[in-house]
């Protein structure tokens, strides 16, 4: 058993020693391998360091050579610049030497001339002293001979010169004024002639009636209606006279207001084409024609504004201009007259170097008050100026329109030109008819007087001014007030107007009750 124990110990000891020896051998082998590896790495690093050092030396030598070449080039360039600078300095030095020698010569010449000037100055001073002495002696001799001192003689001479100059100045001023007046007259004639030649419109006098053709004489009976109800309704609604006589196939519409006359003509033509003629249809067609005619007048205003090249005109002004299409002054169409005024006034302004656009604006708008309600205060010039002012027209335009009949004082040359152009267009042969205008004025006054009363809706002067038909509101005027109104209107007509014969005043108060069966 002890033997086995020793054997076991020996085996264990041998195993331990074997393991230790194996561990030592392995450690020695690892150490040897690491040493060789380190030596190899160190050798590789040494070789790489030698390569880097060699490359750095080569690169440094290349850079040194490149820098040396650059330095040599710069040195050569600077040497050339220095040589050129030295050459320029040498040239400048030579130039300065030449100029210096010239300056020295000039100084010598100036010194010589200065000596001559000094000598001449001394001689002149001596002569001046001698001359002053002679002048003093002569002055004293003149004072003894004239009996006047120097101051008195000077004052007397100045007064004489002043009188002579005043006389010459007055003569010159009169001559210049005369020449200026003749020249201004020639230029004014030239400007007016050029303006008229550049625009010349035809003038046609308008009458107070128009003719409506009929398809047959049978239509006359339908227009008159049973017991005359249709023709009475037509005259009452339109405010014109409808004349039906023996003349075949025509009906004559008479009325001083061209707008009413045109509405009546279109209404009657529409009814004839339609074939249905009775009071209700007459009212319907009349209302439609009135609205269409208002649109046509607006289009006429736009066309007039466009033809004159005006910009920024308010719609209310355009409508007022369009209404002039059916207005006449002394038989002359106001819209045609206004457009002619715009062209002539623009041409005159252009000739004078003024703003032609402003002048055309004034010409077209100068009679715009004639297209407004005639019941307003003041003449058409002031009413038109108020309308233009309300809708943003310039002060120059407003003043020229208001002043073209001298209602107010004109503040610009445009006002004077407007009066001149208005006189030119109105004075053409055949442009106006005094008799027609007087007749139309009387009819307008009749309607104006009747329109003053409360409750009046429409006023029509018919029968060539022998009758005034007044339509009143039934809710504002009763029967007794209607009778009193007729008397009051006739009384005011008698007080304010002069007329041949008599004028019939008819006040119409009508109540209509309408209901629909459904």
CA angle (148 as vertex; 146, 151 as ends), nearest 5? 140
Q: Give residue 206's pLDDT.
A: 47
pLDDT tens, residue by residue, 462-490: 776 778 888 888 888 888 888 888 888 88
Mean pLDDT of the chain: 79
Q: How confident is the model at residue 185 (pLDDT cuts 50, 70, 90)?
A: low
Q: Find the Cα–Cα–Cα–Cα dihedral 19, 20, 24, 26, rounded to 10°.
A: 10
Q: Give residue 491's pLDDT.
A: 86
Radius of gyration of the chain (CA): 59
Is 376 a residue whose pLDDT tops 70?
no
CA distance 508 to 483: 10
Three-state DSSP at 276 gives coil
Q: How confident is the model at residue 241 (pLDDT cuts 50, 70, 90)?
A: confident
Cα–Cα nearest to 156, from 167, 145, 147: 147
Is 230 a residue whose pLDDT tops 50?
yes
CA distances from 399 to 312, 363, 366, 405, 494 (A): 19, 12, 10, 11, 37
The pairing of beta strand 332-333 with beta strand 456-462: unpaired
Total Cβ atoms within 10 A of residue 125: 10
Max intra-chain CA distance, the chain: 194
If residue 122 lies in a helix (H) or strand (E), which one and from where to where? Answer: helix 2-146
Structure tokens at 67: 């820098």
Average pLDDT (272-284) is 85
Residues in the chain: 518
Instruction: Identify whether the C-beta of residue 400 lies closer than 8 Å to the C-beta of residue 362.
Output: yes
Three-state DSSP at 71 gives helix
Task: Kindly give, in sequence order, each residue whose CB lies less than 8 Å from that of residue 215, ignoring residues fewer than 6 positions away.
Answer: 249, 272
Q: Give residue 416's pLDDT.
A: 83
Instruction: Please list the residues that pair with 462 across neighbouring strands.
Output: 467
pLDDT tens, residue by residue, 109-156: 888 888 888 888 888 888 888 888 887 777 777 767 666 666 776 777
Structure tokens at 270: 């529409």
Q: Give residue 434's pLDDT.
A: 43
pLDDT tens, residue by residue, 381-415: 888 888 888 988 888 888 988 888 878 888 888 88
Q: Give residue 146's pLDDT.
A: 65
Three-state DSSP at 508 gives strand
Structure tokens at 515: 């209901």
In what side-by-side order are the strands of the sheet with 456-462? 456-462, 467-472, 504-509
Q: Give residue 379's pLDDT.
A: 76
Q: Give residue 200's pLDDT.
A: 46
Q: Give residue 27's pLDDT.
A: 77
CA distance 299 to 383: 23
pLDDT tens, residue by residue, 30-40: 777 778 887 88
Total Cβ atoms within 10 A of residue 224: 17
Q: DSSP of 377-421, one letter per residue?
A: SS-HHHHHHHHHHHTT--HHHHHHHHHTTTSS---SHHHHHHHHH
- Positions of E strands within 244-360: 250-254, 328-329, 332-333
Cα–Cα nearest to 462, from 470, 474, 453, 452: 470
pLDDT tens, residue by residue, 415-461: 888 888 787 776 554 444 444 556 667 778 888 888 888 888 888 88
Place of tokens 């264990």: 12
Task: Kindly give, in sequence order, each residue whose CB lies less than 8 Å from that of residue 423, ignoring residues fewer than 6 positions away.
Answer: none
Average pLDDT (241-252) is 80
CA distance 419 to 91: 83
Q: Give residue 120's pLDDT.
A: 87
Identify the residue with better confidence: 257 or 277: 277
């Amino acid at each position: 058993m002890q033997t086995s124990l020793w054997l076991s110990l020996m085996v264990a000891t041998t195993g331990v020693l074997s393991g230790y020896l194996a561990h030592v051998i392995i450690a020695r082998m690892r150490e040897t391998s690491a040493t060789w590896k380190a030596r190899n790495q160190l050798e590789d690093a040494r070789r790489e360091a030698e390569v880097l050092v060699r490359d750095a030396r080569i690169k440094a030598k290349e850079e040194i050579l490149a820098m040396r070449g650059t330095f040599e080039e710069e040195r050569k360039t600077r040497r050339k610049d220095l040589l050129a600078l030295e050459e320029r300095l040498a040239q400048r030095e030579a130039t300065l030497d030449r100029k210096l020698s010239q300056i020295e010569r000039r100084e010598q010449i100036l010194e010589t001339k200065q000596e001559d000037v000094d000598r001449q100055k001394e001689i002149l001073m001596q002569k001046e002293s001698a001359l002053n002495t002679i002048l003093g002696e002569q002055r004293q001799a003149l004072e003894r001979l004239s009996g006047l001192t120097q101051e008195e003689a000077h004052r007397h001479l100045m007064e004489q010169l002043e009188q002579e100059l005043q006389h010459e100045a007055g003569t010159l001023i009169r001559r210049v004024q005369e020449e200026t007046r003749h020249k201004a007259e020639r230029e004014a004639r030239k400007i007016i002639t050029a303006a008229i030649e550049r625009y010349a419109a035809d003038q046609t006098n308008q009458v107070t009636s128009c003719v409506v053709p009929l398809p047959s004489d049978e239509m006359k009976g339908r227009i008159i209606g049973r017991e005359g109800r249709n023709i009475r309704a037509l005259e009452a609604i339109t405010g014109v006279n409808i004349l039906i006589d023996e003349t075949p196939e025509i009906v004559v519409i008479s009325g001083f207001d061209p707008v009413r006359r045109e509405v009546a003509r279109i209404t009657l033509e529409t009814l004839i084409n339609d074939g249905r003629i009775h009071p209700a249809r007459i009212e319907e067609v009349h209302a439609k024609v009135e609205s269409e005619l208002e649109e046509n007048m607006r289009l006429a205003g736009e066309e007039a504004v466009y033809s004159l090249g005006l910009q920024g005109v308010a719609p209310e002004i355009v409508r007022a201009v369009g209404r002039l299409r059916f207005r006449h002054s002394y038989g002359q169409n106001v819209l045609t007259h206004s457009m002619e005024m715009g062209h002539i006034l623009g041409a005159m302004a252009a000739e004078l170097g003024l703003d032609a656009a402003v002048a055309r604006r004034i010409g077209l708008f100068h009679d715009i008050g004639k297209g407004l309600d005639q019941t307003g205060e003041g003449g058409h010039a002031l009413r038109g100026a108020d309308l233009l002012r309300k809708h943003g027209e310039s002060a120059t335009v407003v003043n020229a329109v208001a002043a073209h009949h001298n209602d107010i004082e004109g503040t610009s040359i445009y006002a004077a030109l407007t009066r001149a152009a208005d006189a030119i267009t109105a004075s053409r042969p055949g442009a106006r008819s005094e008799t027609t205008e007087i007749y139309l004025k009387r009819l307008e006054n009749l309607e104006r007087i009747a329109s003053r009363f409360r409750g009046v809706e429409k006023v029509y002067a018919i029968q060539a001014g022998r009758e005034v038909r007044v339509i009143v509101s039934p809710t504002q005027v009763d029967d007794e007030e209607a009778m009193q109104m007729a008397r009051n209107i006739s009384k005011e007509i008698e007080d304010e107007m002069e007329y041949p014969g008599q004028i019939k005043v008819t006040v119409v108060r009508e109540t209509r009750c309408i209901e629909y069966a459904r």
